Chains A and B, each alone.
Chain A
């Protein structure tokens, strides 16, 4: 689960990180009131789950209260990469020229089977950019998952990255960030920029924080951070059903299958057939007819979907259960888009018997995933898909 800047800051503050103050607002009037309270120039920052807010005009310096309100009016409701800005964070403006900007972050790194700590003196820009242009400027260090990051390690990394300022305080902030990562199950945590004030004190000006979905059961206190409005409505519905579902842009073929690998491959096959997958939907292992029914219902709802490609290789999943779910959807009138399917594996013969009676323009079975995908692609492209 991706968190907003202000939410990530709340977590880091709980772990003692010196985080730049700020207040959240949803109206321009509130922003004016916050300015009045601070009584100094502020920055109005869009709270959306995408990077590059600044470039999109979602972060504005506001030297007076009129300007703060005007900026808030412009930013609230703004569309940044397909997401509508519903909240802004108002922070006291900092004189960037009076200090230095660094970067520190931790990310789950499967190659070292733990977190990798990253530190760079090139703060303030997106770390991906630094990684692409000057990778030697990012210092990487494996954090031991049992001990967490310790101060001497943090100091060594800070020194190697060329950080200047109060080294003990900077290391202390890094250690606290590490504690937050382990205890709050971060997939990613970034402090960027990590601002070093004129007196050497570190201050976290901006943060990114993403929590491991698998660990949310032990973080019920931040469950309310999840914003359904920030997610695609179909993704919200899918998560209620317990599906692994991802809405994909510019697609026209709905895709569902049993297992992440087979669905990933199904997307590839649809692409190869000249159409575009509109979604990823894994019904999981051992799905019964009702699960399949819900999956078909969900995919059918997507207006982008012109045809549906179902790809099942039954192991634990029984092909006849899949067939029953699809037939139920057809009988209930939910299935109105052409379904091209390949069902193989456990109980394949029973499924073929069930579906044989229903063979029509709406439902057709094919012996291989390629034929089914090609037919689904043909249907979708003919029906005015993209």
Chain B
């Protein structure tokens, strides 16, 4: 179970024949993900390590009934790859690529949202984009659509995890595992300024998921997604949420690796995020191991 992806998800890989696409297609298959096909325009009809390659997402979807796409296309073509998947009717699109121009992402995200609304208005299941510049998502023991190390996500747990950072996602999943809790589904929403899915979009899914008891949210400086999440939690969530914010000592005006991790003027400061979580009664861990203590406390353990 878990959210967004499970053992029945059928995954098509856009950019499978590139080095990253190939490497992670193998790793996803090893994890147990149903990787059904690859898409590389111009290489349609070829076989790649046992996977059929198609020229278009539409064709791959039609032949294999795919319902998830993961994108490893280089930055210049990445936003177009998102739109191709969205127009082909793939309901869940995961953009791994880092370095996509922000203007391209603005346009892609707006169009995906329009298609989502149209699909839902017509009784369809909608279209969701996760990322870019994200590690993807994984439901433990069932399905990984991403680039995270397999080992820490094998055993099913009951803590939902959402994060703007890749490595911190692995780190916290490992800590949760070691503490005997483990994760249900982990969603890496990405480190770019304009992304398809925010914390506040994922939280309601965890709230509704019977396999999730509590949620860990890994935020960072920049933007106001954490503030929006805090507001959502205060108004709508019954399940406990524990937060962590990285980059608390970063100076203003400097971009900390992630394109979105920058304090501009008074927007994106750690103070603002901490205050928002405090107001929402969401405990914020000062260190990563403290996340575990706070989760245990929240669950009454």
Chain A positions near chain B (C-beta within 8 angstroms)? 107-108, 110-111, 113-115, 128, 131-132, 144-146, 182, 185, 187, 212-215, 217-218, 244, 246, 248-249, 257-265, 267-272, 277, 280, 282, 285, 313-316, 344-346, 368-370
Contacts and interface: CB of A to CB of B under 8 A. Distances in A.
6 contacts: A187-B102, A215-B104, A259-B167, A264-B257, A267-B250, A269-B287
Given A108-B194, A128-B265, A264-B221, A277 B102 contact: no
Given A110-B193, A261-B191, A370-B287, A145 B101 contact: no
A268 B248 contact: yes
A246 B254 contact: yes
B148 interface: yes
Interface of B: 75-76, 99-104, 106-107, 109-111, 135, 147-149, 151, 163-171, 174, 191, 193-195, 218, 220-225, 228, 246-251, 254-261, 264-266, 286-289
B261 A260 contact: yes
Q: Which 5 A-B pairs have the closest CB atoms?
A: A261-B165, A260-B257, A259-B167, A215-B101, A145-B106
Which of B75, B103, B224 has the most A CB atoms < 10 Å from its CB? B103
A268 B168 contact: no
A108 B193 contact: yes
Nearest to A50: B253
B166 A146 contact: no
Contact of A315 (B148, B220, B254): B148
B249 A277 contact: yes
B220 A261 contact: yes
Chain B contact surface mostly: loop
A113 B149 CA distance: 30
A113 B191 contact: no
B194 A144 contact: no
Contacts of B256: 246, 260, 263-264, 280
Contacts of B286: 272
B166 A259 contact: yes
Given A131-B265, A146-B107, A267-B247, A262 B171 contact: yes
Contacts of A108: 102, 106, 193-194
A214 B101 contact: yes
Nearest to A244: B257
A313 B167 contact: yes
A232 B168 CA distance: 28
B261 A264 contact: yes
B102 A261 contact: no
B253 to A, nearest CB: 9
The CB with the most chain A CB atoms within 10 A, among B76, B168, B224, is that of B168
A185 B218 CA distance: 29
Contacts of A249: 251
B21 to A, nearest CB: 14
Nearest to A182: B103
A145 B257 contact: no
B167 A262 contact: yes
Contacts of A115: 106
A272 B246 CA distance: 13
Given A185-B101, A260-B261, A313 B248 contact: no
Nearest to B164: A261
B259 A214 contact: yes
Contacts of A111: 223-225, 228
A110 B223 contact: yes
Contacts of B147: 285, 315-316
A128 B167 CA distance: 33
A203 to B, nearest CB: 26
B149 A145 contact: no
Contacts of B248: 268, 271
A185 B104 CA distance: 9
B167 A257 contact: yes
Contact of B165 (A114, A187, A262, A268): A262
A261 B166 contact: yes
Nearest to A369: B288
Contacts of A214: 75, 99-102, 259
Nearest to B191: A260
Given A215-B101, A260-B165, A144 B265 contact: no
Given A145-B106, A315-B166, A345 B257 contact: no
A261 B10 CA distance: 30
Nearest to B265: A128
A224 B151 CA distance: 46
Nearest to A262: B167
Given A185-B102, A215-B103, A314 B261 contact: no
A214 B266 CA distance: 24
A144 B258 CA distance: 24
A49 to B, nearest CB: 11
B162 to A, nearest CB: 13
A107 B264 contact: yes
A248 B251 contact: yes
